[in-house]
Every structure is written in structure tokens, then in C-alpha cells.
Chain A
Amino acid sequence: MFALKADWSQEIKKRYFTLDDYTGGEARWCPGCGDHAVLTVVQRICRDKQILPEKTVAVSGIGCSSRLPHYMGTYGFHGTHGRALTIACGIRSRRPDLDVWVATGDGDCFSIGAGHWIHAIRYNMNMVVLIFDNNVYGLTKKQMSPTSPLGFKNNTAPRGTILQPLNPLTVTLGITNVSFVAQTIDWNPAHLYATLQAAHNHRGTSFVRILQRCPVYSDEVFSDIQNDPSKILFLNHKNGIHIGDNVKRLFPTQREHDPSNMSEAYDIARNHVPVGLLYHAPQTPCYEDFSSVGRHMGIEDKMKGLNDALDQFAV
């Protein structure tokens, strides 16, 4: 209630946000869908960091994962197919004060939106990009996606896919100005949380590929690494993703990897199923660092610069 005290000051109660404040409509993904886990972790991070809901935007394209903005109690924009990243770039370009979370999938980002994926990484605007990669088009009911494994039977390739899947990690690592590349799994909430938290802490475009189970249309694609976690390569480093030893022990295969080492990151991405931080270059300039150069200068400053330059040629 609005009230002034005797000394004319106003008592403003500190706001505290609970998970409910970050919750929108009831999530209507299928039971067992990995998207629920990601949504919960995003909401938990928002709560734990007490991010203002009115300063948070969830942006998506089209697909199952792109329903995420509906379920967030923040601003949301459900865009068109493949355009989540461009819309997010537009939001960032004018409102750098907002916290931007992009929800996109292997179809939305690596297929129809592939062009924007490459350039959004290059722009390196400050946002968290959540890739819900279930290796299948789920919303249109089981067609192959660029990351569908070889031989995966689906409704557009009934005899199985004929192409090797795209490797989003190696592609992203190859893009100029890349600054943060991580991979995690939806079935380990602690690792998912720690990874998204690190992504959120990073200034720049944080690319997080989440291996996400679709129990309806691609339930087998991750069963191999789920049943035998030793096939997952856990990346350990003091500058990497930090989780407790009790969680670490769930990953029998581990190696040290310095996330500043690009060539090693590329080798790991190419030859393993890693979880953790593959690449991190915190000093990578963001788009606004380039675009704001000279913006503060007035016409007089510019004239002075121009005259100084011309004076070099004065006889």
C-alpha cells in the first residue's frame, strides 16, 4: 500500500520473486519431454538471481521448444520459423538493459534459421541461446532434422536418413567472433543449471546446445549415452562448468579441457559427445562494442578529426 512516513520518506519494500513470478501458462509439452527440465532451470536461475521479470524477455521461433515464452511469466515473443535469433538481435540492439533468453531447436536454428545462427554468433550480442536439440522435428510429428542420426527412420525418410548429421558444435566453433559454446543434457538438472548459469553470466552470445529427449518421436537417439554415461565426455576445468563431486561422479569419462583452447575444443566436439564448456572467450567484443564507436562524438569532433587527417597532406 502507498504510504508516506512522518518524515515524508516512503517505505519501499524489497521485491522478492518466487518461481511463480517466472511462470506463465501451464506447460503443455508431452509428459517426459526434456523441455520441462530446461524451462524449470531457466525459471530457477531467474529466481536465484532475482532477475526482474519485467526486464526479461524470452524469444523463440517455431517448434516444440519455441513454446517456452508461453510458459514464462516474463515478456515473450513467439516469432516465425527460424527467426528467433534475428528477433532477439533486434530486441538487444535497442534494449541492452533487458535479459534475453532465446529458445530454439535443431529444426528452427540449424535448418530453416541456419543463416541467422551463423550471423547471430558473429554479432555476439549479449543473450543466452538455448538449443533444444532432440534430433527430430517434433511439432510436425517426426520428420528428420539436420541433427538426426544416420539411419534414423522418420516420416520424411521412412528407410532412414541418408546423410551424416550436422555437428552444431564444430560449426559454431568455426564462426568468427564466437565467444561461448557449451553442451549439456536435459536429464542432469545440476549440470543443466550450472551450464545455463555460466551462459547467463557470460557477456556475449552464449550458445548452449542441450541434448533434449523427445519421448514420443526420438526416444532412442540418446538412450545409448543415457544407458552408458561413460560414452559422455565430461569436461573439467577451473574455468569451466562447476558442479559438485556428487554430480561429477555420474560421468565416468572425464578430461581436463581449458575452454580458452579453441583447437582442443574443436577436436573434442568432432570426436566425442562432450558435456561442459567447450569454448569461452570472455573478452570477445560484442556487437555494441563495434557499433557504438564514435557514437558519442558530435559534428565538431568529427570535423576536427577530418581536418587533422587532411592536415597531414598540407603543404
Chain B
Amino acid sequence: MLNAIEGSQAIAQAVALCRPQVVSAYPITPQTHIVENLSKLVANGQFNCEFVSVESEFSAASVALGAAMTGSRAYTASASQGILLMAEVLYNISGSRVPMVMTCANRAVSAPLSIWNDQQDSMAVRDAGWIQLYCADNQEAIDTMIQAYRIAERCELPVMVCVDGFTLTHTLETLDMPEQQQVDDFLPPYHFSRTLNPQKPISVGTLVSPDYYSEARQEHHQALLDAQAEIIQADQDWGKIVGREYGGLLNIFGDADAKIGILCLGSVLGTLEAALQQGLVTEKVKLFQLRCFRPFPSHALQLACEGLTHLVVLERALSVGSGGIVSLEVAVALNYLPQPPKLYACAAGLGGRDIPLQILPKLLALTQQPPQPFQIIDLK
């Protein structure tokens, strides 16, 4: 059913449709509306769930971990400093191969203090062993939230659904909210294979000697790589139900025969699409929305970039002292192509700075020159 609804409220409703038994969260801007809406749904009896309002993000992630270990479907959400405070637990959750879903309402990281959007927070925990999916709009956020539980439970891996803070979380859009039955059909009740069970006692998270640590890491790494198939499958299966698909790992727009490509993550896709539609540039351009950043879809990217002469990677984060985060990984992936495109790495929109439509001609102007070192292209 179509509804004009705020992004956070829509995400909360989508979470409730997934029927998690435990939600544990701590308020932080711009995630707050998501958990507030969830607590309202619980208080109004519309959502049967244990909502644990804890005293910190560290506790929020830990409670979710404990709940998931009992076999419950668990959910948490955070942003920025909250994600960083959770970092230790994020590794613990994924390393223990415990499925759960969290929303990251992407926000810049302090210091200097900023409550506005960029993607430094989720990028800071990119190596934590979670699947990371980045949404371009709120409809995708709803659909991805539901897909995320399917992926998490089938792969026994946690999934972080990243939505740009304020740009998506605080924006009203006309959205199609799925029916409960549709979600129930897609997400049947789930049984965690390693749930705490006195009949079959096991210990999780125990000390591992150097004899086994590398093998445990390799298994985890392989599980993430293998999750790509489930991510594509979940997108296709959910697409058959609601009639919307997002390209699985990598969503591709624009001219198929374009020689210039622009790759981005999250809501900036809408800006680039609008700029193309308004004819701000005359060149043919192919747009790539990197929907899945972890696992990194190297193969899908290689296939998609064949024939390109130039590729611009636009990020909303940076590895301070190195440069582009995504662009570095793209460079490694494309290095295996016989004729890789020239790569242009840049960032914009840090700490909530608006990315205007005019970014598109600016990005294309980069490709007129030989590749330069990474740069923040919207500095004053």
C-alpha cells in the first residue's frame, strides 16, 4: 500500500514486519526516530517484541548478540559514534557467526563533532565481518531490511543495512509498504543451528590457539564471499513478490554502451540520476550503485566495467592518510581486467555538505585529465 511516510518510520515498520523477538537500541541522531517508532509499535501492541532500551550502544549490540544466541531474531540500530562504540561487539557477533540485522543511519564521525551525513561510520567497521548493504532510497531501505533477515539467517552472518542519515531517515517519501503475509512468506520462522541448548551444549567465542585462528578467519571470509549468491537470490525472490529489484550486488543505470562510468554508494545515486535526466552533461554515462560493499563484489564489478575507458568513484568517506576506501578496492578488482578503465577517486558530501546536481559535470571534468591522486572535490 502506498503511503507518504518518513524514512525512519518506514524502516521501523519494515523491521516490525520481519517479526524480530528482541530489539535493543540506544538513541543517537539520526537513528533515533527508527527506535522511537519501534517502541511506539511495541507500546501500542502492534509489534510483539521485547524492546530493551539499554544504556549505551555497546550494550545494545551485546543484548542483541545474547538474544540472537538464544535463537531469537534480533535487531539493533545506530550511527556514527554509536557504531564505533559497538565495534568490539560487531566483531564478536560476526566472528561467532550469529545472524542479526542492524540499521546504520550513516553519520559523520567526531571530532570535529557533526551530526550530519556521510558514510565514515559504516566504513570504519567495514572489516568487522558483517555484510554491508547501502540503500539509495527509502523504498530500497524497506525492501533491503526484509531481504537482510533472509540473507543473515541463510548465511549465519550479521547484516548492516546502511541508509544515509537525514537524507533518507528524515525524508518523507511515497512508499509501498509490503503486507505482513508477503513478508511472512518470504521470511518463515527461523531456527538458529547453534542456539543455546542444554541438550546439546556448546561454547561460542572461546579462546582459539594459533593452530586454528587462521582457519576460523578463512571460513568467515569464505562465508562472506559465498554470501553474494544469497544476496542476489534474496533480491530476486523478494522482487518476484513485490515487483522491485535492486540489481543484487551492483545496481546499474544509464547508457549501457557508455564509456564513462560513475560508481557511488547510497542516496547520492538519486542526485546523479537527476543530473543525467536534466541533461547536465552531454556525454553518455553509466551509473553504478555499489549496493553491496561487503562482501566486495569484485567479479560483478569486473563484468560491469568491461568496455569502460574511465571510471569515477565518488565516496562519502575517506581513509585519512590514504584516500579513497571504495576506490582502492575497485582498483584492486579492476586490475584483473585486460584493459582496466582509468580510475578517478574522489569524495564529496562529508559531514553533511550538500551534493548538488552540478557534481555530475564536475565528475566528468575529472575524466578529461589523467588520473589524479584521491581528492575531496567539494572543498571551499
Seen from chain A, the residues whose Cβ lies within 8 Å of a Cβ on chain B are: 62, 78, 80-82, 111-112, 114, 137, 139-141, 143-144, 146, 155-159
- Is A140 a contact partner of B29 (Cβ separation < 8 A)? yes
Closest-by-CB residue of A relative to B33 is A155
Interface pair B56/A137, CB less than 8 Å apart: no
Flag if B113 contacts A78 (CB, 8 Å): yes
**Which of B27, B36, B55, B113 touches A146 (beta carbons < 8 Å)?**
B55
Q: Establish whether residues A143 and B32, one from each chain, have CB atoms under 8 Å apart when the complex forms.
A: yes
Does the CB pair A112–B55 fall under 8 Å? yes
Size of interface on B: residues with Cβ below 8 Å to A: 20
Nearest neighbor of B26 in chain A, beta-carbon distance: A112
CB distance from B289 to the nearest CB of A (A): 31
Taking a contact as CB atoms closer than 8 A, the residue among A82, A155, A158 that contacts B56 in the complex is A82
CA distance A82 to B53 in the complex (A): 17
User: Is the CB of B39 closer than 8 A to any CB of chain A?
Assistant: yes
Q: Which residues of A contact B346 (CB under 8 A)?
A: none
Residue B87 at the chain A interface, CB threshold 8 Å: no
B3 at the interface (CB under 8 A from A): no
- 24 inter-chain pairs at a CB distance below 8 angstroms, sorted by A residue, are A62-B81, A80-B81, A80-B110, A81-B28, A81-B56, A81-B81, A112-B55, A139-B29, A140-B29, A140-B32, A141-B32, A143-B32, A143-B53, A144-B53, A155-B36, A155-B39, A155-B40, A156-B35, A156-B36, A156-B53, A157-B39, A157-B53, A158-B44, A159-B43
B5-38 with Cβ < 8 A to chain A: 26-29, 32, 35-36
The distance in angstroms between the C-alpha atoms of A82 and B32, with both chains bound, is: 18
By secondary structure, the A interface counts as loop
Q: Is the beta-carbon distance between A140 and B27 smaller than 8 angstroms? A: yes
Whether A143 contacts B56 in the complex (CB less than 8 A), given A156-B36, A156-B39, comes out as: no
List the B residue with the shortest CB-CB distance to A146: B55
What would 10 more interface pairs be, CB under 8 Å, given A140-B27, A143-B32, A157-B53?
Answer: A112-B26, A112-B55, A112-B57, A140-B29, A140-B32, A144-B53, A155-B27, A155-B39, A156-B35, A158-B39
Chain A residues with CB under 8 Å of B26's CB are: 112
Q: Are A158 and B81 in contact (CB under 8 A)?
A: no
Q: Which of B110-129 contact A (CB under 8 A)?
A: 110, 113
A111 to B81, CA, bound (A): 15
What CA separation (Å) do A146 and B113 show in the bound complex? Answer: 25
**Contact residue among A140, A155, A159 (Cβ-Cβ distance under 8 Å from B28):** A140
Contact partners of B36 in chain A: CB under 8 A: 143, 155-156
A265 CA to B323 CA, complexed, in Å? 57
Q: Give every chain B residue within 8 A of A78 (Cβ-Cβ).
A: 113
**Which A residue's beta carbon lies closest to that of B109?**
A80
Most chain B CB neighbours (cut-off 10 Å) among A111, A112, A141, A155:
A112
CA distance A81 to B27 in the complex (A): 12
Which of chain A's residues have a CB closer than 8 A to the CB of B57? 112
Decide: B43 and A158 in contact? CB cutoff 8 A.
yes
The distance in angstroms between the C-alpha atoms of A158 and B36, with both chains bound, is: 9
Kindly list chain A residues whose C-beta atoms are within 8 Å of the C-beta of B55.
111-112, 114, 146
Nearest A residue (CB) for B110 = A80
Measured between beta carbons, the chain A residues less than 8 angstroms from B56 are 81-82, 111-112
Q: Which residues of B contact A146 (CB under 8 A)?
A: 55
Q: Give Cα A146 to B53, complex, Å.
A: 10
| CB closest residue in chain B, given A145 | B55
Task: With CB as the reference atom, state the residue of chain A lying closest to B37.
Answer: A155
The distance in angstroms between the C-alpha atoms of A82 and B82, with both chains bound, is 11
CB distance from A166 to the nearest CB of B (A): 10
- Tell which of A82, A140, A143, A157 has the most Cβ of chain B within 10 Å: A140
